[in-house]
Amino acid sequence: MLRELQNIILLRDWRKPTGGAEWSVGILGGVIALIGIILALGGAKLISVGGSWYYLIAALALIVAGLAVAQRKLLGAWIYAGAFVVTALWAFWEVGLNGWALVPRLVGPLVLLLLVILSFPVLDANRGRRRRLFGLGGFALIVIVLGVAVAQANRPDAPGAMPEPFAQTMGDASLIQVGADWPAYGGTYNAQRYSPLDQINRENVGRLERAWTFRTGDMPKERWGAETTPLKIGDTLYLCTGRSTLIAIEAATGAERWRHDPEVSDASIPYTAACRGVAYYAAPNADPAGACATRIIAGTLDARLIAVDARTGTPCADFGKNGAVDITIGMGETGPGMVSITSAPTIVRGVVITGQQVLDGQRANAPSGVVQGFDAITGALRWAWDMEHPERKGRPPEGETYARGTPNMWTTATGDEALGLVYLPLGNAAADYWSSHRSQAENEHSAALVALNVETGREVWRFQTVHMGVWDYDLGSQPTLIDFPTGAGVVPAVILPTKQGEIYILDRRTGVPLHGVEERPVPGGGLEPELRSPTQPFSRYHTLRMPDLRERDMWGMSLIDQMICRIQFRQATYRGIYTPPTTETRWIQYPSYNGGSDWGGIAVDPRRGVIIANYSDLPNYNRLVPRDEATRRGWAPRDQARGGDMSSGAEGAGDPQMGVPFAVDVNAGWRMPSTGLLCKQPPYGGIRAIDLRTGRTIWDRPLGTARGNGPWGIPSMLPINIGTPNNGGAVVTAGGVVFIAAATDNLIRAIDVETGATLWQDLLPAGGQANPMVYEFGGRQYLVIMAGGHHFMGTPPGDYVIAYTLPQR
């Protein structure tokens, strides 16, 4: 067959086909007929649920063509060629030149067409030049069509015009400043993730090289996902590992200076062994040489707030008990891993504010979402904000607990030192997908941004992003503070991204929107129809959300699995965003609980007036599971059936939700069981530049290549820009460069802030699911990223902290 193929391509005389060639053609015909039978069965099912007729029509043609080819009849080849032409016309009619959408529709049929063309020596005894030319023409057609598809898939959107630079730089309300240092998780407590450094710029970023690599030594065997962004103060970087160990390293070399291990048990690891960051605090008027004059304050997975000397790593004896405070006091029963601190604390006016991650999906009577403020020197409780008891300032009376099951703040707060406010992005009440048990206070505060007076812990205002939510649309992104230009002058504002993709601009003094927010009708029904809000808030400033899904948006490796996804789409309940949960059928949640925007947040270039927002673009395929069925399947809270083992499945894949009538089964990303690929066509994530003043999109592009993804979990290693799900955010610099990892291809990139073009990239030794940071030391600018991987994202684990800089002259 190889020699015959060579003869075809070189236009040589074809020899008489061998017996092996005839057997090969017979097998080819059988394969075509078998594919036709499968498509016929699935196509009939798809028609019965209201879907496309194409698959059944194509199936009948394939069955006839396959049987004819198996009998070595030339007619079979012509029937198949005709079916391919019809398939191509249907594909271009349905999706146009969308390269990714054409992949399942045309790649498999093109491969079969090539094999049919190569079978001509067996199917036709007249082997003239005309048929040899037909073979070459067919081969050229395949190359051309595949080239068009790939080119279209990688075509970047043309960038829009950049906004005019601001005449006056937008201010930063934080007392700590970013530049040579990176003193807070978001750069400052304003969380702009912006560096004024410009030594590394668009012209020279392509020369970046690794300066040093540090390994933390913390490598969980499962549930890995460090998510760490180091701080840099003076000549030292400070970071935490996934299991809460604190480490200080030299800014110039990455050499370790000290480490403090709080000895967290693996039983305390919640869904992920993560620590996103730490906080730095300099005690006012303290002797610089005194113990803990400067300190690192961080949370642990076993729910302690700890403080250590920034110079030595020694626990601060004046902070709590031996340098630690137990934040679960007053919460009542909390099992291992149920309450954890995974995000960096926020410090405003000497008050350390922390929430906690409460493990999702276990019980309606989960530990409290209380948010607490502690004295940064003594660790004493300054206040506790319990939404069910706003009149209280301290711990609950003897014999009582903080209200259980209330929305928690698992992500990072933002602080305004000048106004004395802290902004809390809240999650949902326990049992995210059921609402009948919730109190009025829970309904009012779920998925809301709440501003508290940092001196008293009292609520000043709140802005809710979801009414009566049952979609796990908690607020995961840290809000960003800016001074926003309006027609009436500059207004102190807060930018709030959401998992639904909405981006709100609010007056941070009052919570009043500075751009329009409108209540739009959304689907009703579901299992609690009387509790579903008839409207939900939508931002008129900007949204990252894509159009509603259609049957044609389904995807796969081939026509067969695309057809299966189409059947699943038609069988599910879906009426757009906020489709209510169901139990008789699955329902489609789009966007998924992964965003839109998640814990990586946004970055803001205040001089150019640009927001940089990366996002995921995935659906979930969900079902509420009746209690008796969940019991039969062994679904129970972590401390019962699972014995602390949370390693299998995505979040929500079999969560018991004890205390309400239904458990929940979430197919995160809507994966096909056969291949593990996603049912929605790419891209699955992107990054976008937005004009800060108007909300207009400047450029938008997929983020992430297909190299780390593939069927059955096998990396394809393809450098095609598919746009992957992403976790982690970006940093933007005065040099006009956006640095980001986040995607599942294990690459860190430098992107041109003005055009969206990739200027430089490097392959990390593990997944880069973390926010990078930028600093200067010794006259050199550095970029640092934690490469720790992430189990949920499917990226390999690691313990690497990697620094990049320009080569020394």
Q: Just list the catalytic residues.
A: 472
Phi and psi angles of residue 269, each rounded to the nearest 5 degrees, phi first: -70, 125
> CA-CA distance, 523 to 470, in Å (whole number)?
13
Residue 225: left (phi > 0), alpha (psi -120 to 50), or beta? left
Establish how many alpha carbons lie within 13 A of residue 746's alpha carbon, considering only the half-sphere containing its beta carbon.
Answer: 21
Q: Which residues contact 664 (CB under 8 A, 6 or more apart)?
A: 361, 432, 433, 581, 622, 623, 624, 625, 652, 655, 657
Task: Scan for tokens 């294990």, then name that residue.
Answer: 746
Give the DSSP H/E element, type plus range, for residue 55.
Answer: helix 54-70
| Tokens linked to 252 | 């110039």
3-state secondary structure 58-87: HHHHHHHHHHHHHCCCHHHHHHHHHHHHHH
Give the DSSP H/E element, type plus range, for residue 611.
Answer: strand 610-616
Task: Report which of 621, 779, 618 is spatially closest to residue 704, judged by C-alpha positions.
Answer: 618
Establish how many alpha carbons lie within 13 A of residue 485's alpha carbon, considering only the half-sphere containing its beta carbon.
Answer: 17
The one-character DSSP state at 668 is: T
Angle at 760 (CA atoms; ends 757, 761), nearest 5 degrees: 110
Task: Report which of 596, 615, 609, 616 is spatially closest to residue 732, judged by C-alpha positions.
Answer: 609
> b or e along 38-65 (b: 16 or more beta carbons within 10 Å of the residue's beta carbon)?
bbbebbebbeeeebbebbbbbbebbbbb
Task: Scan for tokens 């009566």, then name that residue.
Answer: 468
Its sign, for the CA torsion 398, 399, 404, 406, is negative
Q: Give Cα separations from 605 to 110, 484, 609 (angstroms).
A: 46, 12, 6
Task: Scan for tokens 């037909």, then name that residue.
Answer: 134
Beta 773-777 vs 780-787: how paired, if at all? antiparallel
> b or e along 179-209 (b: 16 or more beta carbons within 10 Å of the residue's beta carbon)?
ebbbbbbbbbbbbbbbbbbebbbbeebeebe
First-to-final CA distance of the chain: 59
